[in-house]
Amino acid sequence: MIVPARDEEASLGDCLRSLVAQTGINFEIILVDDHSTDRTREIALTFPGVRVIEAGPLPEGWTGKNNAVIAGAREARGEWLLFTDADTVHLPGSLAAALTEAHENGAELLSYSPEQIAVTFWEMATLPVVFAELARQYSPSKVSDPASPIAAANGQYILIRRETYEAVGGHAAIAGDILEDVALARAVKASGRKIRFRYAADKVRTRMYRNYRHLRDGWTKNLALLFPNPGWLAVKSLLLWGFPWVALTIAVVAKHSWWNAFAVFAFIWPMARLRRANFDWAMEFLGALFGMPMFAYLLLRSKKAHANGSVTWKGRTYGPSDNFEPEVIHHTPTAAGRLS
């Protein structure tokens, strides 16, 4: 298991406790400290079963996360690699179950979309909209279908066979990609190997962003890359959000039962669109009322940031990707079934 971590003191302890408690399979845990300035390294060193290494200097043209995970991949000795984020919590027995699931489905890459924990208002309002649109754009059934060209993965949980990882060049081949999870999935699927992707509240959960600023900056980093036409999607989201309010206004003015029924339907429709996001009705309600305009704002903000080459995340600013040569990863084979 490879855990990249940059200033993750708020969540790292829970993550590592859930990982060291896994049973039913041999594994190693490698925590890659990506130049943290908080207590990340200190916390990691309190877990005797966790190996802590440094990410090393950030090469030009690389993202910080890609540099960190490949540092872990160099040191890992397993036949399978699990890349998981420091803000994840893994349910008991989930690691062994995931490996069994990959074998049973003939998958070379298994990725879980974790249960998303939301606490603050903007988390609760925004996440249902984002994940509903992601489920629409990257349908898990299509991603898992070898006949479909659609490929995706969630970087919070990617289990991949080591042989496959090396065959497609690993993270070194996508070192400048901000969406490294989707890029890796596309490379695996393009190579003819099978991907399995699903929502997995039964295996892992996460709280991605702990305040408004982190939520804003995190989705600004990702949204314009996740959707092929973010500007149009922003307009559509605003239209879907505004339509019920227009219908309600007409119903109040017209004072006609037909318009009242239509207004009710108009409010139910956006909530129904959010059902596939796997949140409860209260969060879907917040998403329909407040999350849609917020989603539109984040899409446009993301589009502008990428157009200007000024995407900022965790103290780093990423401009257009540079060209570079993929790095070859060497490792020493170990006993079959071991997992890193």
Q: Given this model, what pLDDT does residue 244 score?
A: 79
At 285-313, the pLDDT tens digits run 999 999 999 999 999 999 999 999 889 99
In this model, does residue 37 exceed pLDDT 60? Answer: yes
- 73 and 81 in contact (C-beta within 8 Å)? yes
pLDDT value at position 273? 84
DSSP 98-149: HHHHHHHTT-SEEEEEPEEP--SHHHHHHHHHHHHHHHHHS-HHHHT-TTS-
Residue, of 163 and 325, whose pLDDT is higher: 163
Instruction: Check residue 290 and report its DSSP letter.
Output: I
Q: What secondary structure letter does DSSP report for 159? A: E
Structure tokens at 3: 């855990």
Set out the domains of the chain in order of their start, with CATH numbers: 2-114+154-210 (3.90.550.10), 225-312 (no CATH)
Structure tokens at 43: 């916390």
pLDDT score, position 338: 60
Mean of pLDDT over the chain: 91
- Going through the chain in order, the beta strands assigned E by DSSP cover 2-5, 29-33, 50-54, 80-84, 88-90, 109-113, 115-116, 157-161, 195-199, 204-206, 311-313, 316-318
Residue 61 has pLDDT above 70, yes or no: yes
CA distance 4 to 55: 8
- Tell me whether strands 115-116 and 2-5 are parallel, antiparallel or unpaired: unpaired
pLDDT at position 321: 42
Q: Give per-residue pLDDT as tens, 178-214.
A: 999 999 999 999 999 999 999 999 999 999 999 999 9
Q: Which amino acid is at 253?
A: V
120-133 pLDDT, tens per residue? 999 999 999 999 99
C-alpha–C-alpha distance, residues 291 and 281, integer Å: 13
Can you give the pTM of this predicted structure?
A: 0.90
Please give the average per-residue pLDDT across 220-241, as a whole number. Answer: 94
* pLDDT computed for residue 243 by the predictor: 83
Q: Cα–Cα distance between 124 and 129 in angstroms, integer?
A: 10
Of the pLDDT bands very low, low, confident and very high (cuts 50, 70, 90), residue 336 is very low
| Averaged pLDDT, 34-47 | 96
| Amino acid residing at 229 | N
